Amino acid sequence: MTHGNGFSRLDRWLLQQIYRSAGRPPIRFTLANSVEVSPPDASPVAHIRIADRSTLLRLLFDPEVAFGDGYCQGRITVEGDIIGTLETLYQSMSVADHHSWYGKIVSNLLAVLQRNSLQGSRNNIHRHYDLKNDFYRLWLDPQLVYTCAYFPASSVTLEEAQIAKMDYVCRKVQLHPRERVVDAGCGWGALALYMAKQYGVTVRAFNISHEQTLWARWRARQLGLSQRVEFVEDDYRNISGKYDAFVSVGMLEHVGLEHYEELGNIIHRSLDDTGRGLIHFIGRNKARPFSSWTRKRIFPGAYAPTLRQAMNVFEPHEFSILDVENLRPHYARTLEHWLSGFEKSTSKVEEMYGPDFVRAWRLYLAGAIAAFRTGDLQLFQILFARTACRQIPWTRAHLYRQKQYDDEGTRWIRAMS
């Protein structure tokens, strides 16, 4: 033990600063196996090991990025349940003021560098969604739906819950045969194909990820739906034509706050006088950016808005908000499925992208579970319509009256899979 010398006293003081800025969580922190800070009362729920002093110093100046990067590089290890540890940290940090001045500068700098201009969006989306499809196939459902699922009952699998979500969206929007639908940010195209196949609509689906668009077109051919579903490799800002319904699931996070009115203009010009639509996105209770680490390493340019901010899309054109639902617990459950699939495939992922990548994605998925469980993140579905829309049902009972909420329902979902 080296507790006696001056360096260790400094190390211990620094470690205590980290413990304090994290809101004094019930977690044990050690540096290089020699200096330790432990919660005074409660027995710690986890043990965070910091390998060296340079990692410790980086944690002080820019905790978010340093924690993420340190974890990915193996310089920070977590003993104990990673999700539980992150939940504990979210909770303790929500009381503490955990933003250092340096972290704030990095955060603002990232926001400028990752602006979602037409070219910026292309770069930002490319970095995340143009990873090999083979990577996502390891842990997503077979249709590659990379957004929050909907679990109408606890016995429902991930695959079924993604189908249930797609059907829920269609029922909310009240799709009818031969209607024209535009899907903005369509991912691998599962929802566009589902709407066409199950509800008889025609769909134009936009996406700027090249890999995803190729896959979606291949799936459309495979399902014989190429005549009714057109996958366009282009930005939502270039959507043309008139539609009965506008659907966007998991795109708003990538639009960027400064472009919400522009998105509203595009919805306005795309929708008929009686049109309606649904926007599904990760949101927040209070305005705050994603962690710098998430924006730097996982989702460049991403932002989860509050409902207040999201209203910038709808209010300028006087859309009526009909229904807002918060599906936060469903995203925690979805992510649990993803993480569990991911953990089963780590050896393959490591072969593809190396061990740092494995740790980065583990941290991202576990962090997201913790965020949705603790209420740091929300998942909103907003149903909206023009005031002249006549497709508004009298109550929401039609969403629940059906097939899906008992054993028979589960069988129905299985039949659709």
Whichever of 74 and 316 has its CB closer to its own copies, that residue is 316
State in angstroms the smallest separation of the CB of 315 from its own copies: 5
CA 411 to CA 160: how far, in whole Å? 10
271 forms beta bridges with 243
CB 82 within 8 A of CB 366: yes
State in angstroms the smallest separation of the CB of 290 from its own copies: 16
Using rule CB under 8 A, residue 315 touches its own copies: yes
Using rule CB under 8 A, residue 26 touches its own copies: no
CA 201 to CA 47: how far, in whole Å? 54
Using rule CB under 8 A, residue 88 touches its own copies: no
Q: Reduced to 3 DSSP states, what percent helix, strand and coil does the chain have, rounded to the nearest 5?
A: 50, 15, 30
Using rule CB under 8 A, residue 407 touches its own copies: no
State in angstroms the smallest separation of the CB of 264 from its own copies: 12
Secondary structure class of 23 (helix, strand, coil):
coil
State in angstroms the smallest separation of the CB of 253 from its own copies: 17
Binding mask 105-144 toward its own copies (x if CB under 8 A, else -) reads ----------------------------------------
- DSSP output for 255-322: H-GGGHHHHHHHHHHHEEEEEEEEEEEEEBSS--PPPHHIIIII-TT----BHHHHHHHHGGGTPEEE
Using rule CB under 8 A, residue 390 touches its own copies: no
Using rule CB under 8 A, residue 405 touches its own copies: yes
Please give the structure tokens belonging to residue 120.
């910026």
CA 28 to CA 44: how far, in whole Å? 6
- Candidates 260, 314, 342, 364: give the one binding its own copies (CB under 8 A): 314
Using rule CB under 8 A, residue 2 touches its own copies: no
Q: Count Cβ atoms below 10 Å from residue 117 Cβ, excluding itself.
A: 16
Using rule CB under 8 A, residue 388 touches its own copies: yes
Using rule CB under 8 A, residue 322 touches its own copies: yes
Q: What are the CA-CA distances from residue 278 to residues 112, 140, 248, 267, 392 (Å)?
A: 29, 23, 6, 11, 13
State in angstroms the smallest separation of the CB of 60 from its own copies: 27
Using rule CB under 8 A, residue 329 touches its own copies: yes
User: How many chain residues bind its own copies (CB under 8 A)?
Assistant: 42
Residue whose C-alpha is closest to residue 28's, from 14, 20, 39, 41: 39
φ, ψ dihedrals at 45, nearest 5°:
-85, -15
- Candidates 3, 401, 411, 414: give the one binding its own copies (CB under 8 A): 401
Span interacting with its own copies, options 99-107, 169-177, 264-272, 386-394, rule CB under 8 A: 386-394
Using rule CB under 8 A, residue 308 touches its own copies: yes
Residues of span 278-297 touching its own copies by CB under 8 A: 285-287
320 forms beta bridges with 385
What is the binding site for its own copies (CB under 8 A)? 150-152, 154, 285-287, 306-308, 311-312, 314-316, 318-326, 328-329, 374-376, 378, 380, 387-388, 392, 394-397, 399-401, 405
